[in-house]
Amino acid sequence: MIHTGKWSPPDKRASGGKGANRKREPSSITRAIIATFWEYTERTKVSGMWLLRRNRTYGVSRFIWSSVLLQLLLLSIYLTLLLWLKFYSYPILNTISNDLSITDVAFPGVTICSPKVVNSERVDRYVKTLKIPKEYDIAEVAAGFEFLNAFTDQSFEPPSHESFKATDAVLRLNNVTTWEAAMAVSPGCSDYVKRCFWGHTEFQCNQSHEYLSFIPTTAYLGPCCSFNYNPRNASFVPFSANIFGMDGGLTFVGAEGSERNLNTGLIVLVHHPMDYVTESAASVTITARSESFVEVSPTVQSSSAEVLELSERKRDCLISDDLRLRNYRQAACLLACQTEAIVQKCGCHPYLLPIVGNKFKECNLNDTFCYSANYGG
């Protein structure tokens, strides 16, 4: 008997031929990676990896540990990339040079100050030169100059009297600034700088010379006398020296500025010639009938041309070209911040700080309470 029907190809699963039920074998590279991983888990000391060894963890526990280790790996890669991007954004190169010529280092500024800002003898002489209306007592006007100590004495406590009001009114009437008044009643260069020497050559201490001269200045101690430092002259350029040792540099003979009290001595401050003199300056106190020496060891910090050519955002600092200034140092930045803070609080800038423009008025004696309360301590 003959049966008819549809023909179908033979089933390969039942034929046992080449296409039989067999898993695809992994490549040799995959097998090597897997074998290396298992060997690594057996030999490594890294915390947590030993939990991935064969026959150590199973199921959910193995999955959790694998997830934790994978996340830690990704976190380490992320932090590495952040570090690299930060370095790439701020490529700073520090170089220490020991072959800098001494002629390239500016001679330091030397500032001499008297511990006593207001000199009573000078006050008595100065008030006689002022035009004082009849409604003001000359003794009261003289007593008001004591309030100048509020700008320099951190422990200043205002006196019980209010003579500063009369003094301030008289100074306004005579068109005298606080700076001019402070310079007039404080010891000056001629009072405590008597003889000056550069190396072995003597020169006139108060002569009209661009460099070899002492001029009236101000510091955090008030009115002072300075060499190679002129904060009120924006175009001042300090000079560099090519001599060193005890036989070179600056030597001066000083005397206490008070005419009656010779026991307080003088304070000598050594600082960078372009920086306003603050408490951070090296100082030495000279007492009567004594000799003192100040050793200066300069340190020069500079930026490479590659850093200066970076944008302000990448450089993360300001330079002279950014502000269109001839010279701009960190001390100038801190001084500007300090001045801004005082102006915001008291509406003026103290006479002893360098002039920063005409937009801020100078503090007068009526502003001493605000300054002493906020910045005197």
* Tens digits of residue pLDDT in 29-81: 888 888 887 777 777 766 677 677 777 777 787 788 788 888 888 999 999 99
Question: Residue 183: which residues within 8 A CB-CB, separation 6 or more?
Answer: 216, 223
Structure confidence at residue 109 (pLDDT):
92
> Percent of the chain having pLDDT more than 70?
83
Structure confidence at residue 11 (pLDDT):
52
This prediction has a pTM of: 0.67
Q: Of residues 342 and 50, which shows the higher confidence score?
A: 342
* C-alpha to C-alpha distance for 135 and 137, rounded to whole angstroms: 7
The average confidence (pLDDT) of the chain is 80
Q: Of residues 262 and 169, which shows the higher confidence score?
A: 169
Structure confidence at residue 4 (pLDDT):
47
> Percent of the chain having pLDDT more than 90?
19
* Integer CA distances (angstroms), 345 to 221, 363, 370, 374, 376, in order: 21, 12, 8, 8, 13
- Model confidence band, residue 239 (pLDDT cutoffs 50, 70, 90): confident
Q: Of residues 148 and 257, which shows the higher confidence score?
A: 148
* C-alpha to C-alpha distance for 351 and 340, rounded to whole angstroms: 14
Q: Of residues 160 and 194, which shows the higher confidence score?
A: 194
Q: CA quadruple 282, 238, 152, 188: dihedral positive or negative?
A: positive
Of 87-91, 141-145, 162-166, 205-209, least confident by mean pLDDT is 87-91
State pLDDT tens for residues 175-216.
999 999 999 998 888 888 889 998 888 999 988 888 889 999
Written as one string, the DSSP assignment of 210-271 is SSSSEEEEEETTEEEEEES--TT-TT----B----STTSSEEEEE--S-SS--SS-EEEEEE
Across the range 241-245, mean pLDDT stands at 71
Structure confidence at residue 227 (pLDDT):
93
Question: Residue 159: which residues within 8 A CB-CB, separation 6 or more?
Answer: 143, 146, 147
Beta-strand relationship, 266-271 and 282-286: antiparallel
Chain center to CA of 95? 20
State pLDDT tens for residues 290-315.
888 887 777 777 777 777 787 777 77
Where residue 134 falls (left for φ over 0; alpha for ψ -120 to 50; beta otherwise) is alpha
* C-alpha to C-alpha distance for 179 and 352, rounded to whole angstroms: 7
Residue 282 is encoded by which pair of tokens? 């090296």
pLDDT of residue 1 exceeding 50, the answer is no
pLDDT of residue 14 exceeding 50, the answer is no
Q: Of residues 75 and 114, which shows the higher confidence score?
A: 75
Structure confidence at residue 259 (pLDDT):
53
Across the range 241-259, mean pLDDT stands at 75
Across the range 131-150, mean pLDDT stands at 90
pLDDT of residue 232 exceeding 80, the answer is no
- Model confidence band, residue 130 (pLDDT cutoffs 50, 70, 90): very high
Encode burial over 281-310: b for 16+ CB neighbours within 10 A, e otherwise.
Answer: bebeebeeeeeeeeeeeeeeeebeeebeeb
